[in-house]
């Protein structure tokens, strides 16, 4: 894993809203962000736990899971390194509604709630960033709900490979097992769909990793499988 003591301040300083903050607040952010590490399969934050702040993945990959009834859990979304999550929880005075599970060795950063609230109250740039992030998450959530209700395994796997979920890269450092956990399908089913996509020239598979070769063809495949 990355050195969390070095990475957290650098990650914060690289945020688009950071440069416009007062120097004293910049220094507080560098000093007060913290990082925690976990191994594959560990629950890093549980449903029902108190919300400590806003979180970012410094390295690794986490899956957000929510109860789906009768004690079962359903995957909500995967969050790769470099992305924030939990802004909705940070803005509500209630326990966390989902658990955060590490799909591989992972380092998480926490921006404490008091600092999160200070940024919301004083920084226009921070609020603009937050609104864009919330809008992206809402779009992902609505798409997942619709796909889970009506769509085929082919459509669901293709959906989780799209730019809606992976904006910054088209070479996903994602195993078939991890993809299956996110989509809620068996590894065998995911493998079958990926092999079909590979045969169409849409993806390539290398040591269990997935690279998107043709986004236009992937979009066409999503359209073709949407009604299945």
Task: Please determine, for residue 212, whether its predicted confidence score (pLDDT) is greater than 90.
Answer: no
pTM score, whole prediction: 0.76
End-to-end CA distance of the chain: 41
Residue 145's H or E segment, with its range, is helix 124-150
Q: How far is it, in rounded angstroms, from Cα 14 to Cα 143? A: 30
pLDDT, position 3: 47
**pLDDT class of 2 with cuts at 50, 70, 90:** very low
Domain ranges of the chain: 4-123, 151-225
Distance in angstroms (rounded) separating the CA atoms of residues 19 and 82 = 18
151-225 maps to CATH 1.10.10.10: yes
- Dist. CA 70–CA 30, nearest whole Å: 42
Which phi and psi (to 5°) does residue 22 adopt?
A: -60, 145
**Model pLDDT, residue 66:** 76
pLDDT over 70 at 161, yes or no: yes
Gap between the Cα atoms of 46 and 139, Å rounded? 24
Q: Please state which CATH number belongs to domain 4-123.
A: 2.60.120.10
Mean pLDDT over residues 206-210, rounded? 76
Rounded to whole angstroms, how far apart are CA atoms 19 and 24?
12
- What is the average pLDDT score of the chain? 85
Residue 183 confidence (pLDDT) above 90: no
**pLDDT of 70-129, one tens digit each?**
555 566 678 888 889 999 899 988 888 888 999 889 999 999 999 999 999 999 999 999
pLDDT at residue number 85? 93
For 53-68, the pLDDT digits (tens) are: 999 999 888 888 876 6
Largest CA distance in the chain: 56
Q: Which pLDDT does position 4 carry in this prediction?
A: 47
The average pLDDT across 215-219 equals: 88
Same fold, 4-123 and 151-225: no
Q: Which whole-number Å values give the CA distances from 104 to 30, 37, 44, 50, in the listed order?
A: 26, 11, 12, 24
pLDDT class for 178, splitting at 50, 70, 90? Answer: confident
Q: What number is the average pLDDT over the span 138-167?
A: 74
pLDDT of residue 78: 81
- Return the pLDDT at 149: 58
pLDDT at 43 over 90: yes
pLDDT at 72 (0 to 100): 53
């Amino acid at each position: 894993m990355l050195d969390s003591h070095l990475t957290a301040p650098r990650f914060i300083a690289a945020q688009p809203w950071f440069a416009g903050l007062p120097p004293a607040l910049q220094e507080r952010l560098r000093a007060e962000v913290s990082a925690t590490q976990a191994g594959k399969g560990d629950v890093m934050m549980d449903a029902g736990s108190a919300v400590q702040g806003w979180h970012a993945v410094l390295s690794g990959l986490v899956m957000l899971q929510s109860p789906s009834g009768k004690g079962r859990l359903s995957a909500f979304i995967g969050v790769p390194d470099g992305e924030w999550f939990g802004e909705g929880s940070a803005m509500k005075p209630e326990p966390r509604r989902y658990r955060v599970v590490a799909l591989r060795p992972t380092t998480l950063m926490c921006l404490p709630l008091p600092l999160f609230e200070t940024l919301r109250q004083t920084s226009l740039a921070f609020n603009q960033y937050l609104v864009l992030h919330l809008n992206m998450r809402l779009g992902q959530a609505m798409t997942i709900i619709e796909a889970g209700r009506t769509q085929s395994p082919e459509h669901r796997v293709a959906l989780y490979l799209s730019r809606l979920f992976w904006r910054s890269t088209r070479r996903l450092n994602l195993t078939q097992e991890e993809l299956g956990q996110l989509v809620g399908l068996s590894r065998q089913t995911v493998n079958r769909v990926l092999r079909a996509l590979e045969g169409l020239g849409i993806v390539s598979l290398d040591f269990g990793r997935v690279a998107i070769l043709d986004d236009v063809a992937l979009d066409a495949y999503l359209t073709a499988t949407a009604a299945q």
